[in-house]
Amino acid sequence: MISSEIAIWIGSLSTLGAFIVTFTQIKIELTSRIKREKQEFKQIELYQASKISGWLHIGNSIPNCTSFIIHNGSELPIYNVVASLVIYSGSGPHSSEEVRSLEKKAGNYLYLRKASSSVPPGSRIVSFENSWGGMSRKPGIEIAFTDTNGIHWIRRHNGKLDKIPVDPIRFLEVPVPYSDSF
């Protein structure tokens, strides 16, 4: 009698142990799957935006201008593009947002930024007047745009890619209507 009760207890504990191990394994697999799906979604989300870049155009042939190359390395156009000349070394606006604030104070819109409704795949040159210069100043470019998924981004002068909450034209308060500048 006692041995049969012990056998029942051992069987019950074994079943409980198997249930706990199975439940734990299911939870681990589910957590792993969710993490993997989030990473895949992020890669898909970044696919087009990661292929947008800009740099200083060496050998510029436009007198009294500083030119940059905006490169859309994706297969699709980008929209509502705002290119801002920033100063990454020395005094001056260090971000697109600082350019916006400076232009609002000065009342001189689109002086350090240019806008275009779209940029197709390939490279474009955008030029700014050489009035930004000063001791130890070094120019860079920031590119705000909307990708074909409707996600809004800014490619910072240092290469970092930041999401922005609204369309670049609204985010950077570009006066509308604007003429395509590049």
Q: What pLDDT does residue 3 have?
A: 77
The pLDDT of residue 171 is: 96
Give the domain ranges of the chain. Answer: 1-46, 51-172
> Do 134 and 90 meet the contact criterion of CB atoms below 8 Å apart?
yes
Pairing relationship of beta strands 113-119 and 122-129 according to DSSP bridges: unpaired
CA distance linking residue 135 with residue 87, whole number of Å: 11
CB 68 within 8 A of CB 141: yes
What is residue 83's predicted lDDT score, i.e. its pLDDT? 96
Q: In whole angstroms, what is the distance from residue 130 CA to residue 92 CA?
A: 14
Query: Looking at the domain 51-172, which fold is it?
Result: Immunoglobulin-like (2.60.40)
The reported pLDDT for the residue numbered 108 is 66
Half-sphere exposure of 100 (CA within 13 A, CB side): 16
Task: Tell me what pLDDT residue 25 has.
Answer: 92
In this prediction the pTM is: 0.78
Q: What is the pLDDT along the chain (182 residues), one digit of tens a residue?
A: 677 788 788 888 888 888 888 988 989 898 888 888 888 878 788 899 999 999 999 876 778 888 999 999 999 999 999 999 999 888 888 999 999 888 888 776 557 889 999 999 999 999 988 777 777 888 999 999 999 999 999 999 999 999 999 999 999 998 887 777 77
pLDDT of residue 106: 78
For residue 81, give the DSSP letter: E
pLDDT at 115: 94
According to DSSP, residue 90 is labeled: S
